[in-house]
Chain A
Amino acid sequence: MADAICTERLSKRYGKTTALDEVTFSVPAGAIYGLVGANGAGKTTMLKALMNIIRPTSGRARVLEMDSTSLAGRGFEQIGYVSENQEMPEGMTVAALLEYLRPFYPRWDRDLEARLVRQFDLPLKRKLKHLSRGMRMKAAFASSLAYRPRVLVLDEPFSGLDPLVRDELIEGLLDQAAEMTILLSSHDLAEIESFASHIGFLEQGRMLFSDEMAVLKERFREVTVTLDGPHTLAMDLPAAWLKPEAADCVVRFVHSDFRGEASVAEVSAAFAGARDISFDAMPLRSIFLAIARAERTQRQAAGDVAGRVDA
């Protein structure tokens, strides 16, 4: 499957602050890619660089085979972008917004527009400035889905919305998902986990992993080793064993490169004489936290305390 979006050593620096640090990742066509990371990780900067809202300092990105820095004008006929903090034409009504945007898109589907308006229960005659946050986001969604974009980029689209609105938006999104590639950023892992097919994890401007959701979940295991007596952790544990902890007779860690029997054998060999070893699948949130903490511990150890921001 061809990639709808890909980046190559993409960096963005603001003075001495690095917002994106040589990020390389790709979003396959048809994927729903969740870009996760803590606040300030660089998610928004990444999406803005992809949309040519800001220019990268180095590296390159391509969206639908177009270089992101040349993305403009008609290039956006097949691309949608919705952001939580986007400035909309506040003085327009919802109907005026849809009517205004319609001629810009040759593929604008009026039936779909009408369906989205019904589905989102949009008040057509009300001005955008008089809409609630949820309604504004729905209007933005409707105006970005109605032309059936091939790529839809969403920056924290569900942030601050109540669960009902969030579900309505996700439903509306998934209805169209089959015919497009979706890249969305979020720091709500449970939300992403429910529908993303791929996941990427940004931490302090660096992409710590980028994978298919199923592969990722298969790769991570929480390992609990029960021993006969108290155990002291060895200093030279494999790098893939994250967050190792020892308490009395129990040792826990996250195996970040679980490969079935081979990994079981590896752990069993490391803890010979263990009474019990369990390998439990992990929710995304736990994987995220394990990686984030391991990364921070590693960085602190390396003395790398350079400041980074998420623009």
Chain B
Amino acid sequence: MRQILHIFAKDSRRFWPEIAVSLAILVAFVRVYPVQWLETEGVSFISGPGFDHRKQLEILANVLVVLVPVTWWLLIARVVHAESLVGDRQFWVTRPYEWKNLVGAKLLFLLVYLYLPFLVAQSALLGEAGFNPFQYVPGLLYSLYLVSGTIVVPLLAIASVTKNFARMVLTSLGILIVLIAIAYLGAMADSQSASTPYSDWVSMPIILLACAVAITVQYSARKVWLARGLLVTVPIVVMLSALGLPDAAVMRAAYPRTNGGPSAVVDAPIQIAFDASQEWPKTWYADPKDKEVGAELPLIISGVTKDNAAIIDDVMVTLDGANGEHWSSSWHPVYNHQFLPGTRKSSVSLMMSRSAYEQFKSIPVTLRMTFAVTQVRAGKATEVVDTGHKFFVPDFGLCPPIATHWYSASTFNCRTALHSPVLTYVSAEKSLVKCDSSQPEPGNGVPAGDWIGSLHADPADFGITSVWSSRVSLARDSRDNYTICPGTPIRFTQYELVRRVQEDLTVPNLRLPILKSSLDDILTLRLKP
């Protein structure tokens, strides 16, 4: 322990300028960043005195968000390279350093000058945003874990296999380029990949473990090439295996299939039917190079039981032609497809290559769609009356006074602590008439609602800031002029996971839409059963 403290004291004395810069930037970040909340709450868009100053602060806040990890990068590089692990000329390798003490001293340095200030900064931001940081201790610690896995430990590992800062920068850029290339190749192979709820749970610990092993190998034995090999190989293997894993297997694990038969339909969290009555004439999509075409598949959604909701997360489409031809899409994510009880029209996108389209366009096909569906159940509900003041919604966040909002009395931003909110349906009745001082009559308006947040249950999301902003929009579209009047109750209903399942929809004897070229060469598909 004495050696740890001794090395730590040496590093503290030696790198005080770097430490001072890092802390100064963090302090500036804490002081300036709250201006972002004013921006998201619309304040900065109000012209008047101080408007330019606020805009400058917003720019500064954005710069500081980047500068904070950059100073960490510098700090980590300096402290690790002070006892460089690469090369055979370092004075310290023939001195009585115990490698465990050396690692301990470096970790202590990061704990004192990186983690602790960051924890304090995050707590200060929470306090500034109106949250009591002591109520978010697990989230704050989880946030440190995410920062470790995403920034600190990988940088520490890279620093341990490079000789100096310049080489560390080049190595980091090299790794970044390789990862981007792999991601690009993945995107080339499959333009979108399905989103499963568990992807980050696996990759983060594997990368952390690889980095930890590389760091240990370096400090204990200084086997540079072994450590470098680990650092290069493991993330690539993780990414390639993520790309190479059959979607079907991953999705089957995340979304088990319901049992077949009539009971399955009854059990299903949602009834999905093809809307044969619809002619879907809207221009949808055409790749500029004419390589891909697409259309919207009209659907009728029903069957969601009371106090429940269903979310379509991903969809996969297969086509079987009467001539034996077969085509299948990969799993693609679907956004904003949440359904409450009742019957609703909806649609999902079908995209296919132009060549595949040509194979099927003139023959009857059997269309099979498989949906990854999440069933959620209404839980805690909180009703808040807008009184023109900020209001706090438990387990959700802090919201500004709605009626004074700049943008629209139907759209507002709420601050949440450490992560985006849990999945919540925000609903209110909007006034059909202009608001006046009188209280609106219940039932004398238009119901409106918006889904916010996600089902992810992590206590924190990765971020330099600890305060997140979520936009709640109760406007149906941009022409919606209805407003929420002061005094209107707003209901925040939180939803919790019930189950995830796959559901199938088969449409036989379908003819693919006719592809039309408009004057501006935009392709149009019309789908007719």
Contact = CB atoms under 8 A, between A and B. Distances in A.
Given A87-B87, A89-B82, A51 B94 contact: yes
Nearest to A48: B88
B499 interface: no
Given A86-B89, A89-B82, A53 B6 contact: no
A76 interface: yes
A86 B91 contact: yes
Interface stretch (B30-38, B96-104, B429-437, B505-513): B96-104
Given A48-B88, A87-B87, A104 B96 contact: yes
A77 interface: yes
Contacts of A51: 93-94
Contacts of A53: 88, 93-94
Given A103-B2, A104-B3, A89 B91 contact: yes
Interface residues of A, number: 28
Contact of A104 (B88, B95, B99): B95
B476 interface: no
Contacts of B13: 96
Given A72-B99, A76-B94, A76-B95, A92 B89 contact: no
Interface in A28-83: 48, 51, 53-54, 72-77, 79-81, 83
A283 interface: no
B14 interface: yes
A230 interface: no
Nearest to B101: A73
A100 B99 contact: no
A83 B87 CA distance: 14
A174 interface: no
B14 A88 contact: no
B353 interface: no
A73 B10 contact: no
Contact of A85 (B2, B84, B89, B98): B89
A101 interface: yes
A73 B96 contact: yes
Contacts of A81: 94
Given A72-B99, A87-B89, A103 B6 contact: yes
The residue among B2, B94, B99 with the most chain A CB atoms within 10 A of its own CB is: B94
A100 B96 contact: no
Contacts of A91: 14
Interface string B127-163: 0000000000000000000000000000000000000
A53 B87 CA distance: 9
A101 B87 CA distance: 21
Instruction: Give the dominant DSSP class at A's interface.
Output: mixed
Interface string B56-94: 000000000000000000000000001010011111011
A105 interface: yes
B90 A73 contact: no
The residue among B2, B14, B90, B95 with the most chain A CB atoms within 10 A of its own CB is: B95
B91 A74 contact: no
Contacts of A73: 96-99
Contacts of A96: 13
Interface string B311-347: 0000000000000000000000000000000000000
A88 B91 contact: yes
A310 B82 CA distance: 27
Contacts of B93: 51, 53
A261 B10 CA distance: 65
Nearest to A78: B96
Given A92-B14, A104-B3, A74 B88 contact: no
Contacts of A87: 84, 87, 89-91
B96 A74 contact: yes
Closest 5 CB pairs of A and B: A81-B94, A73-B98, A76-B96, A87-B89, A53-B88
15 contacts: A53-B88, A53-B93, A53-B94, A72-B98, A73-B96, A76-B97, A79-B94, A83-B89, A87-B90, A87-B91, A89-B82, A91-B14, A103-B2, A103-B6, A104-B96
